[in-house]
């Protein structure tokens, strides 16, 4: 998230950005930032479980625009949580805010900035299909993105305000000013930012920018209550009141030339604080400043030669060698790193009412099998979920019994395919034989649907099951038929939303378990499989008795086969 308000301050000053037409270059893309910016700015539905097909089409158009302009994208993703937990306070605050916004979205039906559960999976699958180079860092990606861009002398594409602080030779292209849908003469109109221009306009030394970020307060440093920077804003300045703190800090920094000089002066402003407290604050500020120092890039050789980056020493003993390439390729979830390193799993909440039980409860037994494979017998993982509107920490034991207890993580990739298939289907409670009549691409989603029908609370009704299966069996055709409905969605049905949240959570965790087991079943292409808005629409029309004209689809052999498998194995 970086320095709050900094992007707005820069936007308010027209002389800092440089208008350009960008093309014929490498481009380092902040993957998580692009996902959020692309999904929310496009107006895709957030509350009904994901407009995944529309997102896939949007990503395809974006990559085509880059390719048409001779731009070679390199997408970098965040990995596991920081092992020192220096951002823990920020992470917890965001989790609490996310829970509140998810409930408000459910109650009001308005968009509250909640990313549907499988958005990142759709993003990865689409980039993979398009042949775009993607890499996942082992921890947070900001430093690596900046280091790679610095060494390659190319810009970064992001809206994260931390990149206004890093010294980037080719600058930053803010996503909000990157008009890729308006290609002109094989180039993309955009604005480019350079730290040198920012420092020139505000008359501060470039070496003081990291100090500015730390004193302003970023993800690592929370000192806003210690300093009243707004008092240094010139009288009569027209900067909006909520930005006066940043403007005042920049005015104050003009008189200093070295970081330590500014830090010493800042501590003097604190007056009566004890020496111990001042030392603590100084250490925190130095930590924040260090985040903007660039190490050598570890991903450059991966992108050019496929060489797996060395693991940090403190992580290497816990992360098996065979997992490091698929982790770097973003083919294993970063959650694995958190479980191995921190015995922790953060569960982001979908749009749901606070009075509903947490949607992730249904899939917990699947995660317990995952934890068992990662940690072995006796392992335990702290899951961060919600209870009502409260952030809840639950100690969840790993499940390591039967065949899964005989598999060893360090050599899991060498285990027999039959054993890995048996562990996956055993966790889902279905047999391989019952799936044999289905296309390979639908076996995992159908197995998940059997599991969901057995465990979902409350049990989903038959109308919801039929709507879901119509989407699975004839998704592309039905999306064409129902395209008009996305403009006039019925009121959010919280019972349907909750049931489908459970189903999506089960599918996502089953996909992650399947990945760790080296994919004994083909990974389903989510954007071709499930469209939340469509399933909601079908349920609404079925319940209201409207004629759907879907009899041929509902009489198809595939639909009947799926329904039979689920009813025979789903406990109905």
The 10s digit of each residue's pLDDT in 173-188 is 999 999 999 999 999 9
Task: Provide the percentage of residues in the chain whose pLDDT is more than 70.
Answer: 93
pLDDT of residue 484: 42
Token duo for residue 554: 């509902």
Is pLDDT above 60 for 218? yes
Is pLDDT above 70 for 572? no
Token duo for residue 48: 């009904």
* Residue, of 502 and 276, whose pLDDT is higher: 502
Token duo for residue 503: 């189903």
* Residue, of 158 and 556, whose pLDDT is higher: 158
Is pLDDT above 70 for 554? no
- Quote the CA–CA distance of 504 and 535 in Å, as a whole number: 12
Q: Which of 132, 154, 133, 145 is nearest to 64 (CA)?
A: 132
pLDDT digit string, tens, across residues 221-260:
656 566 889 899 888 788 888 889 999 999 999 999 999 9
Q: Which of 17, 21, 297, 310 is nearest to 150 (CA)?
A: 297
Is pLDDT above 60 for 207? yes
Three-class SS of residue 458?
coil
pLDDT of residue 312: 83
* Residue, of 308 and 273, whose pLDDT is higher: 308
Three-class SS of residue 120?
helix
Terminal CA-CA length for the chain:
46
pLDDT digit string, tens, across residues 21-48:
999 999 999 999 999 999 999 989 999 9
pLDDT digit string, tens, across residues 434-474:
999 999 999 999 999 999 999 999 999 888 998 899 888 76
Token duo for residue 467: 């709507």
Residue 363 — φ and ψ, nearest 5°?
-90, 0
Contact 332, 370 (CB under 8 A): no
Q: Where are the domains of the chain?
A: 6-201, 202-290, 343-569
Contact 398, 380 (CB under 8 A): yes
Degrees to nearest 5, angle at CA 324 with 319 and 326: 130
Residue 331 CB-density burial (10 A; 0-12 exposed, 13-18 middle, 19+ buried): middle
Contact 10, 193 (CB under 8 A): yes
Residue 340 Rama label (left phi>0; alpha psi -120 to 50; beta): alpha
Contact 46, 116 (CB under 8 A): yes
In CATH, what class is 6-201?
alpha beta
- Quote the CA–CA distance of 150 and 129 in Å, as a whole number: 28
């Amino acid at each position: 998230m970086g320095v709050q308000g900094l992007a707005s301050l820069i936007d308010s000053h027209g002389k800092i950005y440089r208008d350009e037409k960008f093309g014929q270059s490498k481009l380092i893309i902040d993957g998580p930032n692009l996902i959020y910016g692309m999904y929310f700015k496009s107006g895709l539905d957030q509350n009904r479980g994901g407009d995944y097909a529309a997102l896939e089409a949007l990503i395809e158009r974006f990559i085509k625009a880059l390719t048409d302009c001779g731009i070679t994208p390199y997408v970098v993703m965040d990995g596991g949580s920081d092992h020192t937990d220096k951002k823990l306070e920020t992470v917890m605050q965001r989790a609490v805010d996310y829970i509140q916004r998810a409930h408000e979205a459910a109650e009001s039906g308005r968009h509250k900035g909640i990313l549907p559960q499988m958005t990142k999976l759709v993003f990865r699958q689409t980039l993979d299909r398009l042949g775009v180079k993607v890499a996942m860092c082992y921890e947070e990606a900001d430093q690596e993105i900046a280091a790679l861009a610095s060494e390659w002398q190319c810009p970064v594409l992001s809206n994260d305000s931390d990149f206004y602080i890093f010294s980037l030779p080719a600058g930053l292209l803010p996503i909000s000013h990157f008009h890729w849908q308006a290609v002109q003469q094989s180039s993309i109109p955009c604005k480019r930012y350079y730290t040198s221009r920012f420092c020139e306009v505000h008359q501060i030394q470039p070496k003081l920018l990291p100090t500015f970020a730390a004193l302003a307060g970023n993800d690592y440093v929370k000192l806003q209550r210690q300093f009243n920077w707004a008092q240094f804003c010139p009288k009569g300045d027209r900067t909006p009141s909520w930005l006066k703190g940043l403007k005042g800090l920049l005015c104050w920094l003009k008189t200093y030339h070295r970081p330590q000089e500014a830090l010493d002066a800042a501590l003097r402003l604190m007056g009566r604080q004890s020496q111990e407290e001042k030392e603590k604050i100084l250490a925190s500020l130095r930590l924040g400043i260090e985040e903007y120092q660039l190490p050598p890039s570890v991903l450059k050789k991966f992108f050019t030669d496929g060489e797996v980056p060395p693991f940090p020493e403190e992580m290497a003993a816990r992360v098996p060698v065979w997992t490091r390439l698929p982790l770097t390729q973003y083919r294993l979830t970063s959650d694995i790193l958190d479980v191995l390193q921190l015995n922790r799993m953060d569960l982001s909440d979908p749009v749901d009412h606070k009075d509903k039980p947490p949607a992730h409860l249904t899939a917990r037994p699947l995660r317990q099998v995952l934890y068992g494979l990662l940690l072995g017998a006796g392992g335990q993982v702290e899951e961060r979920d919600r209870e009502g509107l409260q952030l809840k920490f639950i100690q969840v034991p790993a499940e390591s019994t039967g065949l899964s207890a005989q598999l060893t993580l360090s050599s899991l990739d060498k285990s027999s395919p039959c054993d890995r298939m048996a562990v996956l289907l055993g966790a889902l409670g279905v047999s391989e034989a019952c799936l044999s009549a289905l296309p390979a691409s639908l076996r995992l989603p159908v197995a998940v649907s059997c599991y969901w029908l057995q465990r979902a609370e409350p049990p989903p009704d038959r109308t919801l099951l039929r709507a879901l299966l119509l989407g699975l069996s004839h998704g592309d055709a039905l999306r064409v038929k129902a395209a008009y409905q996305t403009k006039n969605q019925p009121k959010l049905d919280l019972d349907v939303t909750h049931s489908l949240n459970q189903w999506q959570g089960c599918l996502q965790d089953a996909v992650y378990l399947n990945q760790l087991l080296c994919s004994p079943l083909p990974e389903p292409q989510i954007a071709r499989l499930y469209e939340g808005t469509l399933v909601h629409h079908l349920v609404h029309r079925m319940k209201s008795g409207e004629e759907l004209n879907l009899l041929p689809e509902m009489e198809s052999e595939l639909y009947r086969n799926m329904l039979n498998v689920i009813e025979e194995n789903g406990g109905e």
